[in-house]
């Protein structure tokens, strides 16, 4: 299994003409207004378009080689810093030659831009405290509320993105058409309306880990229906997703159905409440059952003090799923039938999923049998944190378990390998022109998930072995997301000056609102060019440049809950300090 492979198998959706009215260039005119400087905006001066924390490293990246730069105060047009650039780095992933404008010594709160004589100016950015990133983080969590299925999104909470309830009818069990099941709820997985257990488990796990490691980042309320129940809103969102997953467990056997979708993707303009195609529950799979066992065991621990009844319900369901895994030792693979073309989320092995389940059940119960299974079946290759390889989640669970319950030699072996991979990420970032822990081969479908998951790995490494190099390299991933990249593009809807305006996301296309649903992380550059728009517009581009803000480019501009959740973990770190 390949951690960097994140695409769902899916055909092209019905195409629409580009919506120029949503912003032909995506450029903000605000960058040049209200200042005493009339310089032209340059696409070659790249900054985090939201900003930088006061005491953090602050670096802008300049395409080409320029020897001097200035930091200009936006309000006055006055230069507050003038320095030489450093470096002349040839970046393999983008094909760019870049230099660095390091203005870390500037610690005055305010709004600024970078100026390079003869080249122009950057977008504005702020210098401030952790609130710069907490607002983005909150928006990314709230975006999961907008992805909720099975309930009306009331304007009290959803504002102009409100819509009526959707997908509330009973679904037919595929292959057993007489059986209908209530599987309402959960999240719309991506730009479509399918609900899939495997990626939903990853989404929930990311969110619970973010809360577990950085609880101080989730003290605010996000204006969701559960905001008054004295449970952190991020955990309310997790509970909404898991309540649906509990419905996907077969009550007799404990096995978990793989997904519920219609046979085909609806039209790109379809709003959730207008999608009335027949819903089908697809058969039980090993991966869905093992991921379910893992994430419900995790929830039994996380919710113990907040919602004891739900905690116990999750514990019972997890044990029942594990019993199914013990009874069905042969791998039960899921593949789409010929008449179903919605996302497959298939896999060729369930080894990593079962190891994750064992690790989480060990941490939740302390039962020695799970430790025995884990030791016998877990290797240290990969440490994946995506839906196709969950071995990294297994490692995190084992390493942070009660030390009296685990094998110290096994834990030390895992820790050593984890830190070695973290060091590799640091080394990769040091050689990369954009200071990013990404190899050129990793710009695949959902490359932004790869960026976020590398950052998660680094942040866990910092928890295991306090090292500023790890946190600095993780922070560079956030700068990348918010515009410090070869595209000069913020990849998060609603944030940055050049922000995504046309995500492949049906509610954003069909709701008639000019701005897309905010807080959604798009997939990012995909060098395989896996849709018609990418193939026609991006052929011959370097891997990191294989992105286009076009609603029909599902391989570069779709969204997914498990991309958001990975980024939420990283942003929660940035807003916690």
Look at strands 195-196 and 259-261 and give their pairing: antiparallel
* Structural domain for 107, as ranges: 45-128
Q: CATH number, domain at 209? A: 1.50.10.10
> Would 27 be classed as within a structural domain?
no
Element (H, E) at 63: strand 59-63
> Would 31 be classed as within a structural domain?
no
Write the DSSP symbol of residue 526: -
Final residue of a structural domain among 93, 110, 128: 128
Element (H, E) at 138: helix 131-146
> Would 23 be classed as within a structural domain?
no
- The length of the chain in residues reads 577
Check if 381 is active-site: no
252 and 237 housed in the same domain: yes
Task: Give every CB contact of residue 228 below 8 A, 6+ residues apart in sequence.
Answer: none
114 and 174 housed in the same domain: no
219 and 361 housed in the same domain: yes
Look at strands 51-53 and 125-128 and give their pairing: parallel
* Helix (H), strand (E) counts: the chain: 16, 15
> Would 269 be classed as within a structural domain?
yes
CA 499, 502, 507, 513 torsion-angle sign: positive
Write the DSSP symbol of residue 554: H
- With tokens 């918010």, the residue in question is 482
228 and 81 housed in the same domain: no
Q: What is the pLDDT of residue 130?
A: 75
Q: Of 22, 20, 43, which is closest to residue 31 (Cα–Cα)?
A: 43
230 and 113 housed in the same domain: no
- With tokens 């003090």, the residue in question is 305
Look at strands 280-281 and 171-173 and give their pairing: parallel
Contact 310, 345 (CB under 8 A): no
Final residue of a structural domain among 68, 96, 128: 128
201 and 307 housed in the same domain: yes
Q: What is the pLDDT of residue 38?
A: 65
> Would 95 be classed as within a structural domain?
yes
Q: What is the pLDDT of residue 379?
A: 86
Check if 532 is active-site: no
* Structural domain total, the chain: 2
Q: What is the pLDDT of residue 5?
A: 39
Rounded Cα gap, residues 422 and 409, in angstroms: 20
Rounded Cα gap, residues 527 and 520, in angstroms: 21
Extended strands (E) in 125-272:
125-128, 171-173, 176-181, 195-196, 259-261
62 and 169 housed in the same domain: no
Angle at 171 between CA 389 and CA 292, to 5 degrees: 25
Q: Indicate which residue of 66, 189, 549, 550 is catalytic.
A: 549
325 and 202 housed in the same domain: yes
Helices (H), 214-350: 233-247, 286-302, 308-327
302 and 407 housed in the same domain: yes
pTM (2 d.p.): 0.93
Q: What are phi and psi of 303, to 5 degrees?
A: -90, 0
Q: What is the pLDDT of residue 171?
A: 96
Rounded Cα gap, residues 142 and 134, in angstroms: 12
Cα→Cα distances 414→202, 350, 395, 426, Å: 21, 20, 7, 19
Element (H, E) at 468: helix 468-481
> Would 399 be classed as within a structural domain?
yes
Rounded Cα gap, residues 500 and 478, in angstroms: 16
418 and 446 housed in the same domain: yes
Task: Give every CB contact of residue 308 below 8 A, 6+ residues apart in sequence.
Answer: none
Contact 572, 214 (CB under 8 A): yes
Q: Which residues in the chain come in under a pLDDT of 70?
A: 1-38
Three-state secondary structure of 391-427: HHHHHHHHHCCCCCCCCHHHHHHHHHHHHHHHHHHHH
Q: What are phi and psi of 128, to 5 degrees?
A: -165, -160
195 and 284 housed in the same domain: yes
Q: CATH number, domain at 74? A: 2.60.40.10
Q: What is the pLDDT of residue 28?
A: 35
Q: Indicate which residue of 73, 275, 353, 558 is catalytic.
A: 558
């Amino acid at each position: 299994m390949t951690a960097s492979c994140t695409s769902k198998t899916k055909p092209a959706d019905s195409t629409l003409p580009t919506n120029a009215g949503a912003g032909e260039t995506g450029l903000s005119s605000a960058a040049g207004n209200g200042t005493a400087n009339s310089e032209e905006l340059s696409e070659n001066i790249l900054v985090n378009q939201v900003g930088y924390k006061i005491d953090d490293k602050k670096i802008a990246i300049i395409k080409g080689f320029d020897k001097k730069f200035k930091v200009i105060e936006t309000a006055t047009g006055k230069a507050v810093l003038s320095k030489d650039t450093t470096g002349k780095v040839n970046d393999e992933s983008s094909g760019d030659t870049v230099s660095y404008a390091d203005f870390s010594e500037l610690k005055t709160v305010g709004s600024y831009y970078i100026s390079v004589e003869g080249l122009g100016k950057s977008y504005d950015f702020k210098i401030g405290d952790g609130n710069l990133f907490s607002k983005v983080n909150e928006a990314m969590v709230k975006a999961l509320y907008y992805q909720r299925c099975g309930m009306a999104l009331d304007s009290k909470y959803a504002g102009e993105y409100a819509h009526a309830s959707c997908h509330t009818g009973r679904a037919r069990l595929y292959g057993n058409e007489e059986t209908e099941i209530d599987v309402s709820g959960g999240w719309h997985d991506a730009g479509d309306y399918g609900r899939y257990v495997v990626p939903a488990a990853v989404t929930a796990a990311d969110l619970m880990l973010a809360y577990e490691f950085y609880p101080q980042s989730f003290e605010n309320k996000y204006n969701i229906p559960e905001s008054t129940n004295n449970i952190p809103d991020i955990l309310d969102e997790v509970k909404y997703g898991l309540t649906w997953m509990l419905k996907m467990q077969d009550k007799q056997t404990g096995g978990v159905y793989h997904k519920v979708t219609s046979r085909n993707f609806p039209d790109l303009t379809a709003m959730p409440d207008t999608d009335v195609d027949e819903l089908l529950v697809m058969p039980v799979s090993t991966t869905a059952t093992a991921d379910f066992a893992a994430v419900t065991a995790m929830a039994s621990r996380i919710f113990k003090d907040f919602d004891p009844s739900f905690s116990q319900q999750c514990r019972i369901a997890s044990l029942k799923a594990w019993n199914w895994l013990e009874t069905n030792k042969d791998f039960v693979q899921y593949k789409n039938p010929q008449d179903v073309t919605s996302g497959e989320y298939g896999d060729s092995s369930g080894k990593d999923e079962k190891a994750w389940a064992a690790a989480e059940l060990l941490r939740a119960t302390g039962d020695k049998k799970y430790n025995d299974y884990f030791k016998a079946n877990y290797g240290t290759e990969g440490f994946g944190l995506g839906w196709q390889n969950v071995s990294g989640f297994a490692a995190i669970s084992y390493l942070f378990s009660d030390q009296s319950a685990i094998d110290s030699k096994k834990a030390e072996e895992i820790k050593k390998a984890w830190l070695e991979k973290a060091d590799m990420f640091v080394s990769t970032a040091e050689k990369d022109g954009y200071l990013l822990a990404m190899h050129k081969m990793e710009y695949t479908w959902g490359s932004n998930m790869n960026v976020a998951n590398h950052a998660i790995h680094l942040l866990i490494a910092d928890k295991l072995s306090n090292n500023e190099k790890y946190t600095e390299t993780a922070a560079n991933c956030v700068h990348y997301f918010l515009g410090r990249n070869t595209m000069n593009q913020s990849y998060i809807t609603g944030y940055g000056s050049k922000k995504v305006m046309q995500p492949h996301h049906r509610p954003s296309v069909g709701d008639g609102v000019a701005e897309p649903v905010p807080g959604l992380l798009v997939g990012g550059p995909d060098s395989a060019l896996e849709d018609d728009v990418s193939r026609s517009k991006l052929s011959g581009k370097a891997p990191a440049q294989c992105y286009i803000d076009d609603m029909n480019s599902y391989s570069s501009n779709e969204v997914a809950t498990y991309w958001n959740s990975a980024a939420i973990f990283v942003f929660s770190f940035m807003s916690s300090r």
